[in-house]
Chains A and B, each alone.
Chain A
Amino acid sequence: MSDKYEHYYVPEQSPWPIVGAVALFMIAFGAGNYVNEVTKDQPGYGGYLLLAGIATLIFMLVGWFRNVIDESMNGLYSKQMDRSFRQCMSWFIFSEVMFFAAFFGALFYARMIAIPWLDGASNNASTAAVLWPAFEAAWPLLKTPGGTETQAMPWQGLPLYNTIILLISSVTLHFAHTGLEQNKRGQLKLMLGLTILLGSVFLYLQGVEYVYAYQELGLKLDSGIYGNTFFLLTGFHGLHVTLGAVFLLVMFLRIVLKNHFTAHKHFAFQAAAWYWHFVDVVWLCLFVFVYVL
């Protein structure tokens, strides 16, 4: 270990972190104002600031990753550095797991505790009798205590197809990875391209499903706790699929245009793959707990 150690690369000064901090400031401050403006129908600059922040963040990411790729291509990174990156990515994915856990927690709490209690379960008989006498506990919650009605999203049809599509995309990504490891660049490109395509189809179908939910089922973000958990969980998942797909697309372009990555050195590809598999596992939990059960 000690011989590798001396070469642990500590970059010099970098302008990208401060650019990134300014970008996050613009995003947070812009979004904070935009939310008020859009919900009250007021004119304002929040939306523009938010967009400028996102643009700055993308600019920062491109610049930062370009530096990192250059350093990596120039052989500045040791095995130990590679381990740092891998561990960093693993912990990041763990933090994402905990983010989804908060929303799954809300879903389970609503289903197992809040809704039965509103109907008088546990020691809440008088609460139900006095406050919500007409309410009946059920899941999916199609009629809220306040009286909002909606319809449930069936799991057959689109959601099932989407599950199959996303599962296949994980398999194709696996074959892309084995292709990379066995130096079969053709297989790598084909399978990676296919993965991105499947991911895009998934996102498209998710959009179709949202339109169907809003127009045909009357299932909306504000249709009570069922709609809340449905849209926030699938929405945040969709956002992560989008990020994952962009991540994979960047890998695809690096492979096709620049011929990056070798059978032994491909951390960025590996990280993108981990992220994609993680997003896939989240979807499986979603499919089971949001759609089927």
Chain B
Amino acid sequence: MSTVTTDPHAHAEHEHHGPAKGLKRWLYTTNHKDIGTLYLLFSLLMFFIGGAMAMVIRAELFQPGLQIVEPNFFNQMTTVHGLIMVFGAVMPAFTGLANWLIPMMIGAPDMALPRMNNWSFWILPFAFSILLASLFMEGGGPSFGWTFYAPLSTTYSNDSTALFVFSVHIMGISSIMGAINVIVTIMNLRAPGMTYMKMPLFVWTWFITAYLLIAVMPVLAGVVTMVLTDKYFGTSFFDAAGGGDPVLFQHIFWFFGHPEVYIMILPAFGIISSIVPTFSRKPLFGYASMVYATSSIALLSFLVWAHHMFTTGMPVAAELFFMYCTMLIAVPTGVKVFNWVATMWRGAMTFEVPMMFSLAFIVLFTIGGFSGLMLAITPADFQYHDTYFVVAHFHYVLVTGAIFSIMAAAYYWLPKWTGHMYDETLGQWHFWCSLISVNVLFFPMHFVGLAGMPRRIPDYALQFADFNALISIGGFAFGLSQLLFVWLVVKCIKGGEKATDQVWEGAEGLEWTIASPAPYHSFTTPPEIK
């Protein structure tokens, strides 16, 4: 047997030194860094496609009345904008970061199942091609909102629904495989001495995120399947005439959907917990409490789904239960914000772009958290439900929360990925333009929402006109500001000041011990963790 063994092994060792050439490298790759890059670039592309749809929405809402697009097309834009940003931009960006960083952070040779890793990625471009192609079919694409509530997605939907369902199925397969890979990598491939409580927080938060993904993506698959059979095969899961209930849809959907929103924010917590200590030049305050807070948020996320459904006529006992559980989440989240602030307390702080985005994250995500608390109060939610206040809330959480953390991460680790420092001036421009425009964009939504402007409607009453014009201007400015980021990334890949291995003065962790740019295979033999 030994003669058999040596051959392929030696061959494998030989091939391991560098990447293959050309397109094959990207199609056939098993390298976590290649796959991470693919995820990140794909997510950036989707961010702009989804962003272009948001621009269409804001152009239509610039003035009251219908001027640019048909209402049906407007609905397709809101739907596909949401789907793309959730499943195409934010989630793949975090998966890309996980791919790039987790093996380097825990001292692993690669992800645990490298081929499956590549499969997870390559499903995504196909899934989104199907979704985008459905926009061009007769009758248009999905137009029932990204939450695809029944009966909008069953009785009243168009022919593209089947394509929507199957594209969500394969996206789900991709996410589940990606999450299994992350969780197995973390459980099984940590370097000797890297105990669970020594893992960087980004690894911890992804560990918990992966668990959430494996638990809820199959539930999404189940609910889209029921939508499919209800629409095409005569079942009545969501139809009272057959003994079902449209509210059942919302229960199953939000059982997936609420953990899903934590899937999109827990890795962000990990990123901020990596960046704040570096630029404060102090260790993270309350490491253990961060781990416990993240775990409690994840557990609570399974018990709060019906706070999206307070106006569906649930019994009062259920409304109270979900209200209190939801408000309970403020406790571990408060612990996190406290710890970040305490980390900065009396630190020797500097304000490079990653730190600026992190600081903006802490402030603006907290605003999103506060509006979330307002929405959690059942009687108040009766007023806010389905208004622009909700839109303001989740965009504060997802844009100034998730997206800002992704930006912060990109700036923070770009020198490690490319070997070059990015252009700090350009980065600051990008940050300040984004920060100002994003608040012009989303902050007035609170006011129009409280005043009663409903979401997902292409027209509005005249009294909302001024604020909406302002919101649209903020939207266009925010969209344009992101072009600065693309320019900056291209510049950074092409060249720039050579980055040191540690890159940032205060940076700690295994990824900063290896060269910049990180070699194709970082740890062929595991480092010893003391």
Q: Does B363 contact A (CB under 8 A)?
A: no
* Number of chain A residues close to chain B: CB under 8 A: 76
> Which of these binds chain A: B52-60, B112-120, B377-385, B483-491?
B112-120
Give A73-92 interface residues, CB cut-off 8 Å to B: 73-76, 80, 83-84, 87-88, 91-92
- Give chain B nearest CB distance to A268 CB in angstroms: 15
Do A87 and B188 contact each other (CB < 8 Å), given the known contacts A102-B222, A145-B240?
A: yes
As a 0/1 sequence over residues 317 to 342 of chain B, the CB contacts with chain A under 8 angstroms (1 = contact) are 00000000000000000000000000
- Give chain B nearest CB distance to A95 CB in angstroms: 5
- Give chain B nearest CB distance to A87 CB in angstroms: 5
- Give chain A nearest CB distance to B315 CB in angstroms: 6
* Number of chain B residues close to chain A: CB under 8 A: 92
Query: Which A residues are CB-close (under 8 A) to B223?
Result: 102
- Give chain A nearest CB distance to B148 CB in angstroms: 15
Task: Name A228's contact: one of B192, B217, B235 (CB within 8 Å).
Answer: B235
Report the Cα distance A95→B235, complex, angstroms: 25
Residue of A nearest to B30 (CB): A11
Report the Cα distance A36→B173, complex, angstroms: 23
Instruction: Determine whether the beta carbon of A222 is less than 8 Å from that of B233.
Output: yes
Do A110 and B30 contact each other (CB < 8 Å), given the known contacts A98-B219, A232-B235?
A: no
Task: Name B166's contact: one of A31, A74, A96, A226 (CB within 8 Å).
Answer: A31
Q: Does B505 contact A (CB under 8 A)?
A: no
Report the Cα distance A14→B34, complex, angstroms: 13
Q: Does B501 contact A (CB under 8 A)?
A: no
Query: Which A residues are CB-close (under 8 A) to B248?
Result: 106, 109-110, 114
As a 0/1 sequence over residues 1 to 29 of chain A, the CB contacts with chain B under 8 angstroms (1 = contact) are 11001101111111111101110110111
Q: Does B9 contact A (CB under 8 A)?
A: yes
Instruction: Determine whether the beta carbon of B244 is less than 8 Å from that of A114.
Output: yes
Q: Does B403 contact A (CB under 8 A)?
A: no
Query: Which B residues are CB-close (under 8 A) to A225?
Result: 236-237, 242-244
A sample of 30 inter-chain contacts (CB < 8 A) reads: A8-B109, A9-B12, A18-B28, A18-B122, A20-B119, A21-B123, A21-B126, A24-B126, A25-B129, A27-B170, A28-B127, A28-B163, A35-B228, A39-B232, A39-B233, A76-B9, A84-B112, A87-B183, A102-B218, A102-B219, A102-B255, A109-B245, A110-B244, A118-B245, A145-B241, A145-B243, A148-B242, A221-B235, A225-B243, A225-B244
Q: Which residues of B contact A (CB under 8 A)?
A: 1, 4-5, 7-9, 12, 15-16, 20, 24-25, 27-30, 108-110, 112-116, 118-119, 122-123, 125-127, 129-130, 134, 159, 162-167, 169-170, 173, 176, 179-181, 183-184, 187-189, 191-192, 214-219, 221-223, 225-226, 228-229, 232-237, 240-245, 247-248, 251-252, 255, 313, 315, 521, 524-526, 528
